[in-house]
Structure 1
Amino acid sequence: MVKILGAVMTGFACGYLGFKISFAMKIRAESLNNIITSLEMLESEINFSMNKLKQAFMRVDKCGLFKFAAENMDEKGVKTAWTNAVNECSTKLSLKDADKDILMTLGKNIGRTDTDDQIKNIKYIKSMIAEQEKQAQSEYRRFGKMYRNGGVLVGLLIVIMLI
């Protein structure tokens, strides 16, 4: 009885792991898409509204990243607040190291230069994130189903071997 219970639990764990990996891939693609949308809105905020950076970050937030940075901007400064926000939100947003590196580049330049240079920097970062988003969508389409089904099948294989 214990052997069967252990086999069933192992099977469920493998299936769960496959679904969790697939879900993380989906979340990454959606998060990158939301970041692109936020960057487009930030570009407009800087270009037309002339709001302070903290207010602009609060208004454009779609995924929690910009809001987290804005909340810490007064006490830590723009660069440190942005770095902390990227590091804190990367797990929730399922970001890879390459995504984080691109986003860190934004923090180095935002708020330090004139409006035109900030717009250019945002456009550059937006294009880099768009490439990452295309890659994430492609990976999810190619491997998402494989991870879900593979996890279940490996779980079934282990169950069969244990029983």
Structure 2
Amino acid sequence: MLKLLGALMVIFSCSLMGMTVASNYRRRPGEIRALQNALQLLETEISYGATPLPDALTYVAERCDQRVSPLFGGTGRELLTMRGKTAREAWAMALEEYYPRSALNRSDRTVLLELGNSLGISDREDQIKHLSLAREQLKLEQAKAEEDSARNTRVYHYLGFLGGLTVVLILI
């Protein structure tokens, strides 16, 4: 009886690990889409609202998807504290806090870091160009993420279950 219970626990825990990995693959396209929408909102706020960057970031954080809100809110709050940090430094700090809890991968993070390098250092038109470029790069990453999600979600579900089953067979 204890062997059966242990075997079921191993299979369940390995299946759960597979589902967790699959969940990240499923979440990533939606999170990238939310980032694109937030960047579009920021672009609109900078171009048509002529809002200063800290206020625009705070505005975007209040109105964008909750999955990406911490990135924009953290940057806006850091800039509003006026501790002498540049927009690039504030963006990098917020990204470092946001990234571990997100479903984004390294290439998505690189796109966002490159965007941060151009925030607040040029005129309005140049910032709009950089925001548009980042959105286009994220659109490409989203297409890759959707392919990865379609391909890998089911694989990791099965891999978790079969991995647990293999461990049980080895232990028995």
Flag whether TM exceeds 0.5 (same fold): yes
Matches within 5 A, 1:151-162: 151-162=160-171
Q: Which position in structure 2 is the counterpart of 1:78?
A: 87
Unaligned 5+ runs, structure 2: none
Q: Which amino acid in structure 1 is aligned with residue 107 of structure 2?
A: A
Alpha-carbon separation, structure 2, partners of 1:39 and 1:113: 17
Contact 1:46 1:115 in 2 (8 A): yes
Q: Which position in structure 2 is the counterpart of 1:121?
A: 130
Matches within 5 A, 1:38-53: 38-53=38-53
Q: Which position in structure 1 is the counterpart of 2:73?
A: 67
Q: Does residue 1:131 correspond to 2:140, yes or no? A: yes
Q: Which amino acid in structure 2 is aligned with residue 120 of structure 1?
A: K
Q: Which amino acid in structure 2 is aligned with residue 42 of structure 1?
A: L
Q: Which position in structure 2 is the counterpart of 1:26?
A: 26
Identical pairs, percent = 28
Aligned length: 163
Q: Which position in structure 2 is the counterpart of 1:94?
A: 103
Q: Which moved more, 1:51-60 or 1:4-13?
A: 4-13
Alpha-carbon separation, structure 1, partners of 2:6 and 2:86: 52
Unaligned 5+ runs, structure 1: none
Equivalent position SS for 1:91: helix
Alpha-carbon separation, structure 2, partners of 1:107 and 1:88: 14
For residues 68-102 of structure 1, the C-alpha deviation after alignment (integer angstroms, 9 at most, x for no partner) is 11111232331111001111111211221111111
Normalising by the residue count of structure 2, what TM-score does the alignment of the two structures yield? 0.87
Equivalent position SS for 2:20: helix
Q: Which position in structure 2 is the counterpart of 1:37?
A: 37
Equivalent position SS for 1:151: helix
Alpha-carbon separation, structure 2, partners of 1:11 and 1:159: 7
The one of the two structures with greater contact order (alpha-carbon pairs below 8 A, sep at least 6) is 1
Deviation at 1:10, TM superposition (A): 1.5
Equivalent position SS for 2:103: coil
Q: Over aligned residue pairs, what C-alpha RMSD do you find?
A: 1.5
Contact 1:17 1:151 in 2 (8 A): yes
Q: Which position in structure 1 is the counterpart of 2:118?
A: 109
